[in-house]
Amino acid sequence: MQRVADSIRTVTAIAQQRFEDGERSAAIDLHDLVELLLAVADELDAAGESDLLAAAKAILEARDDQMVTSAEWDRLRKAVDAAG
């Protein structure tokens, strides 16, 4: 849930800055709403992917060295849980 809240905050801050810079109007239409929701979805995808990808890479590297420990498995488990 924290990742969702953080993603919404990030996109909202960008939208607010664009309004303050005069790039956007205070009034929104359907196009603006769709753009905002897609930006939140993109932010969520990017946030979830990086943690999961990093954990998966660590497991693959540890496997190559034949040194997979419970720490790597815990990291992967946490990343998968957070992404799901």
DSSP codes of every residue in 29-72:
-HHHHHHHHHHHHHHHHHHHHHHHHHHHHHHHHHHHTT---HHH
pTM value is 0.51
- Average of pLDDT values for 37-52? 76
Residue span of the structural domain in which 36 resides: 2-83
| b/e sequence 45-58, b meaning 16+ C-beta within 10 Å | eebbeebbeebeeb
pLDDT of residue 35: 86
Distance of CA 77 to the CA centre of its chain: 17
CA distance 3 to 84: 11
Confidence grade of residue 47 (pLDDT, cut at 50, 70, 90)? low
CA distance 69 to 76: 11
pLDDT of residue 58: 75
When divided into structural domains, the chain yields a total of: 1
pLDDT tens by residue, 6-43: 888 888 888 888 888 898 888 888 888 888 888 888 88
Confidence grade of residue 73 (pLDDT, cut at 50, 70, 90)? confident
